[in-house]
Structure 1
Amino acid sequence: MTTGKSVLAFDMGASSGRALVGQLTEDSNGQSKLQVTEIHRFPNHAIQVGNHLHWDILRLLHELKKGIRLAFQQGYSPLTFGIDTWGVDFGLIDGNGELLGNPYHYRDSHTEGLIEEVNAIIGQEALFRQSGLQFMPFNTLYQLYAMKKAASPKLDIAQTLLLTPDLLTYLLTGIKICEFTMATTTQLFNPGTQAWNEPLMAQLEIPSRLFLKPIHPGTLIGPLTPAVTAELGIPTAIQAVAVGTHDTESAIAAVPAGEEPFAYLVCGTWSLLGTEMAQPQLGRDTMELEFSNEGGVGGTYQLLKNIMGLWLLQECKREWDEGGNELSFPELVRMAEEAASFRSLIHPDDPRFFAPASMVDKIREFCGETGQPIPQTEGEVIRCILESLALRYRQALEQAEKLTDTRYGGLHMVGGGTQNRLLCQFTANALGRSVWAGPVEASAIGNMLLQLVALGQCANLQEARKLVARSFPIDAYEPEGDKNWAAAYETFMGFGRV
């Protein structure tokens, strides 16, 4: 491993994006470490246009260009850059290489009811064996099927489908690629055959010509176009790398686990709890417990469950902010600490919480329907969310153990949610096991690791994870012996969802 090299990571979530520079340094003992510096942060807002919800993809492109320019202006000379984003969403490119409209947002309503409709055509179990994914309404399959049902002319005109990070890379480099981890979020990639599921596409009348052969993380793509390089006024056209472009997979790459096997929780707007596998699990038990098999970095598969996550808290805060009651996240967590414990609980993955007009009203509605006290104050609402998430994590971990016949000694928790110390402690309490929290910027760090692998600065994923363990603080949370967590879990399990 050589020190002194720098790389640029763009990590974009559903509400914000970041540009971060990673540099290899050396400590006094000659040990290499990764130093991460944030140089740019920007919002990422959904835009309602008529009846549809879209991403403002050109604004995101503008922010990426700004991040590249700022890296050079601040004295860095990154050799490469990589982009990771949320999964499933895409843009369509025509024969002239131009983008056909703004991509749909995964929370757009045009896919409502399509899970049941597609299952009736294909068969639920057959579809799971062919994709290995949870049946989630926003999966790329349902978005394309919705466009087909609406007779969208874009499908007739389009030549290529590019998933969000690959689309942004194309707009910067002019090179079209499809990265493996992102391909596996579509429900159109068959993990058994390791290829696009063209028979399924034919059944649903989705044009297979749109799909490029996937490439694996750690592949060098090519440089910025001369036009972009000149526009930004930078001295060199830095190279793009296909990192683990699905942000979940980048985050998992940064889990500083020394032991194998291990369980992880990627905690942000969504929570993803699972374990790393050599092969996908495509059996009926995996489907019935609503786990997914997503492609990971280093030739792995991730057996994981999607959980609604801190979206619940974020939406409540947004609602209060818009009503003039602006409270910071630390203030809300402090209020939750002061609220009574186990007063009321929700099931975080109840469908009503996916895209409600009022998250606070929906939480109160759930509590009322289940005969619990209705949370009134901000602190009561947030405590309800955090305790419910911790109990959901316990349920998902126990399900993962059932599927893998493995007992995990604790849980590695990474991502922005690790900054919520109350949630970390609640999770340890609910599990009755250790929780190791950090790093916070896991997706960006995993993004950087794959760039370092592509540059030959890290030999493989195992060496990269050791670099993370040396470079970033990890906070350990031990369970506090409150027997009320066991009673709360019984109440939670009574809500009846897997």
Structure 2
Amino acid sequence: MTYHVAIDIGASSGRVILADTSNGLTLTELHRFKNGFSKIDGHDRWNVTQLTEEILKGLEKVKAAGIDNCTIGIDTWAVDYVLLDEEGKLLAEPVAYRDARTQGVMDQVFAKIPKEEVYSKTGIQFLNFNTLYQLYAEDRDLLEKTKDILLIPDYLAYRLTGKKVGEVTNVSTTQYLNIHSRAYDKDLLDVAGISGDKLPELIETGQVIGQILPELYDSYDLPQAQVIAVATHDTGSAVVGVPATTDNWAYLSSGTWSLIGVENDKPMATEAAFAENYTNEWGAYKTYRFLKNITGMWAVQEIARMLDYQYSFAEMAEQAYQVEPFLQYINLNDDRFTNPDNMIEEIQAACRESNQIVPETVGELVMCVYSNLALAYAHEWKVLERLTGRELEVLHIVGGGSNVKLLNQLTADVIGKPVVAGPGEATALGNIMVQMLTSGELKDLKEARHWLSQNQELSRYEPQPIADRDHLKQYQKTVF
């Protein structure tokens, strides 16, 4: 099998990407579509009915490109779910994780089961939109009518194949999988008021889900295709798509958010990890993504928006090159930067309040953000080394942020270790690599990553003396 289709859907858009692996690797984006939630019946809801139609349109384009046979993998965002009735039909479009219904719910859950016990069972970080808290807040009347609860990528696979399964990399984000038994945790489900028989059979990354339903061919011109359970959580696929060729590496999945961590073969649900709010999301092939969610390119995106997008991101970075780095120390992970009315004014106010140089120009503002992102990465690098008890050798930066050369170099400078940047399409590539492993084109994950490193252009950044380690010490002193 040399044709594979990655269906990669994020919070704002989705893509259907064709991979031809007959001679190296060729990627072609055949279909792109918008995604988003809207207010329906008092809640922010996704339109998964439309997402299903867009997937089928994309697969028709695969067939139109002359591809008669392929495999398919689907990855999306995490935690959100659908409720299905006895006939397998949607009871309602799914509520989005940003909906306000989970406000204050975590405290209600912790009144029934201690927070420390939840972490010791699951090893998962605490986010108020985790599925555990969404289900606790779910409409009880709807739950009474519910036969099956499926996460978003599992539901989309069900619409294609008729098979109801739960792929573990995504299901682990729910915070009701037990890391010790690798099964649903009954105590946590009882707290959420959910019967375990409503949840699907768990399957591992790489398992075949099934063929496209015969009846879909009556309405759509589709290729013959086998749907494979890739790492269905997009971060899980991105980590598969890290082109690591050594044994002691860390990754940074860089986009609007940054996810920095290591890949472990065992979970680390320790008191120290709990204190640092590190998560143990399940990875492909029974690995664990031991990582921390921190801010990413959000502040730069907001600066661009405040300036009515009169500068491209490349132009903003070019102006930042003209500015000395590390002139300010601010905590970009502070709540004040989560969604301010004006990001530029908020950054300036933070600097003014702490008697630091106030950035005024585009270049000064962007260098302020990049410098503090690099320092935040360096701080978590040290935390990772402390928690794992090992000295890390190289940081792989993947995702859209891997294209920001200035930030890559600053990061290498402050961590004092090489940075390897790329690929920017790590999520889609990780999706495709799992399909190739299942079809037998690649032997194991180690070989797959080596293959990827040979088929992608990567950039390496060596640490320079522009930023000695005193900058990290001063950042930590100022921020913490």
Specify the TM-score bucket, using the shorter chain as the normaliser: over 0.9
1:44 and 2:35 aligned: yes
More moved, 134-143 vs 58-67: 58-67
The question of 1:116 aligning with 2:107 is answered yes
> 1:133 and 2:124 equivalent?
yes
Gaps of 5+ in 2: none
**Paired residue for 1:196?**
184
Secondary structure at the aligned position of 1:87 is classed as: coil
- Find out whether 1:490 has 2:473 as its counterpart: yes
1:29 aligned residue = none
Deviation, structure 1 residue 295:
0.6
Percent of residue pairs identical? 37
RMSD (Å), alpha carbons: 2.2
- Counterparts of 1:369 and 1:357 in 2: how far apart (Å)? 18
CA contact (8 A) 1:225 1:237 kept: no
Aligned mate of 1:480, from 464, 471, 474: 464
The corresponding residue for 1:306 is: 293
1:329 aligns with 2:313: yes
The AA in structure 2 aligned to 1:14 is A
What is the aligned counterpart of 1:252 among 220, 233, 239?
A: 239
Q: Is the 8 A contact 1:155 1:207 kept in 2?
A: no
Residue 174 of structure 2 is aligned to residue 186 of structure 1: yes
1:351 to 326, 332, 335: 335
Partner of 2:419: helix, strand, or coil?
strand
Aligned to 1:446: 430
Instruction: Note if contact 2:402-2:408 (Cα within 8 Å) is conserved in structure 1.
Output: yes
Amino acid at match of 1:241: I
Contact map agreement 2:329 2:478 (CA 8 A) in 1: no
Deviation per residue, 1:20-40 (Å, 9 max, x gap): 1112234xxxxxx33322222
> Partner residue of 2:19?
22
* Deviation per residue, 1:271-315 (Å, 9 max, x gap): 111111111011101111111101111221111111122233334
Summarize the Cα distance change of 1:255–1:78 in structure 2 as closer, same or farther, 3 Å threshold: farther
When the two structures are superposed, what TM-score results if normalisation uses the length of structure 1? Answer: 0.90
- Give, as a single letter, the amino acid of the residue that structure 1 aligns with 2:434: L
> Do the aligned partners of 1:71 and 1:78 also contact (CA within 8 Å) in 2?
no
Q: 1:104 to 1:384 in 2, by over 3 A?
A: farther
TM-score (normalizing by structure 2) = 0.93
**Other structure's SS at 1:60 match:** helix
Say if 2:277 is the partner of 1:290. yes
Q: Indicate conservation of the 8 Å contact 2:132/2:192, yes or no.
A: no
CA contact (8 A) 1:35 1:471 kept: no
Q: What is the rounded CA distance, in whole Å, between the counterparts of 1:435 and 1:6 in structure 2? A: 32
In structure 1, the partner of 2:88 is 97
Quote the offset at 1:220 in angstroms: 0.8
Query: Contact 2:135 / 2:192 at 8 angstroms: preserved in 1?
Result: no
Given the alignment of the two structures, is residue 208 of structure 1 paired with residue 196 of structure 2, yes or no? yes
When residues 105 and 203 of structure 1 are mapped into structure 2, their CA distance, relative to the original with a 3 A threshold, is closer
- Segments of structure 1 that go 5 or more residues without pairing to the other structure are 27-32
Equivalent position of 1:224 in the other structure:
212
**Cα–Cα, structure 1 residues 154 and 333, in superposed 2: closer, same or farther, change >3 Å?**
farther
- Give the CA deviation at 1:369: 4.3
Are residues 1:5 and 2:15 paired?
Answer: no
What secondary structure is seen at the aligned counterpart in 2 of 1:298? helix
Q: 2:255 aligns with which of 268, 272, 275?
A: 268
Which amino acid in 1 is paired with 2:93?
Answer: N
Q: Which amino acid aligns with 1:305?
A: K
Determine which of 146, 164, 169 is the counterpart of 2:157.
169
What is the aligned residue count? 480
Superposed displacement of residue 496, structure 1: 4.7
